[in-house]
A and B are shown apart, each in its own frame.
Chain A
Amino acid sequence: EDKVVQSPLSLVVHEGDTVTLNCSYEVTNFRSLLWYKQEKKAPTFLFMLTSSGIEKKSGRLSSILDKKELFSILNITATQTGDSAIYLCVRGGSNYKLTFGKGTLLTVNP
């Protein structure tokens, strides 16, 4: 069975801290690795990674994929209270299948 394992499952930090969220996945029929942010209901897209070693950045967020070691990390620098959310790591398998991790619950305190 395809598995996506995220760690930690929850994290509490103070504003201004830097956090690293981890995601490991199984290799079978791998196509892509995606990150989403889920605040209340609808997950919103952050990054899609298909190539190893190429960092993607969007403001204070960045992500990178290691296809040899089968993991990805999501970094958030200078965290803000608005970063509080569940961050979902998603493995794209054969064309019509996505496997989600359980998510990391990030709480940023003022």
Chain B
Amino acid sequence: QSVLTQPPSVSAAPGQKVTISCSGSSSNIGNYYVSWYQQLPGTAPKLLIYDNNKRPSGIPDRFSVSKSGTSATLGITGLQTGDEADYYCGAWDSSLNAVIFGGGTKVSVL
């Protein structure tokens, strides 16, 4: 069971928006930056968002994050078939002195 809680799956039609929640606590999301990753089948995770809402070079602004208290939400707008993947949130946890990940959310494009 992951310290960060994500829904197992979300889905939407092409062009629509999906949101993925990541719920934690004051020892992680509440006081530290959240990162988000996209993992396509058979590949390494790809950093989408870091420091709560910064995007590495090449990541489109269709991906954005909102954070409130001990939760964060990744939003993907203009959904494309290429967005079908597993998405993970991650953060530092000061109680564990460790990096922690959510259990992952599978995004399906209907």
Q: Do A and B bind each other?
A: no
List residues of chain A with CB under 8 Å of any chain B CB.
none
List residues of chain B with CB under 8 Å of any chain A CB.
none
